């Protein structure tokens, strides 16, 4: 699966995805006009959670995921469209903080493993 090009023209409609699951999900949500839950998509299309995530990611930004489920971006309100990138930016920031924490913990333990110094367990 190729990553969609984030530099697409602002005034050109997004291209139809090449991935068959993404095409199916885009068409399904285009016809639905409303939010569809993960359970509804699983029932109607027979996709599991991983397949839904992969199809949304391959959709060339045509599928919005939110608290209510999934919706074709064409049918979203202006507020829903504006919230979609904010949600990804917030998740990205949280992931970077977590990655930094893991990197610090790994550095700490690598230092002690390399120097064969093990901290004493805390006594209650």
Other Cβ atoms within 10 Å of 78 Cβ, number: 7
pLDDT in tens, 16-58: 899 999 999 999 999 999 999 999 999 999 999 999 999 999 9
Q: Provide the residue ranges of all domains of the chain, joining segments of one domain with +.
A: 20-76, 77-124
Distance CA 58, CA 16 (A): 10
**Residue 6 has what pLDDT?**
61
pLDDT in tens, 69-102: 999 999 999 999 988 888 888 888 988 999 988 8
Handedness of CA 24, 14, 87, 92 (dihedral sign): positive
Q: Is 56 exposed, middle or buried (0-12, 13-18, 19+ CB in 10 A)?
A: buried
| pLDDT at 118 > cutoff 70 | no
């Amino acid at each position: 699966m190729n990553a969609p090009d984030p530099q697409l023209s602002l005034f050109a409609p997004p291209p139809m995805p090449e991935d068959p699951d993404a095409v199916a999900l885009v068409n399904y949500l285009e016809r639905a006009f409303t939010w569809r839950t993960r359970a509804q998509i699983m029932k109607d299309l027979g996709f599991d959670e991983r397949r839904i995530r992969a199809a949304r990611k391959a959709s060339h930004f045509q599928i919005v995921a939110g608290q209510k489920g999934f919706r074709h971006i064409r049918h979203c309100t202006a507020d829903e469209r504006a919230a979609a990138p904010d949600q990804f930016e917030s998740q990205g920031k949280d992931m970077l903080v977590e990655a930094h924490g893991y990197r610090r913990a790994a550095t700490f333990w690598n230092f002690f493993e390399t120097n064969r110094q093990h901290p004493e367990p805390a006594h209650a």
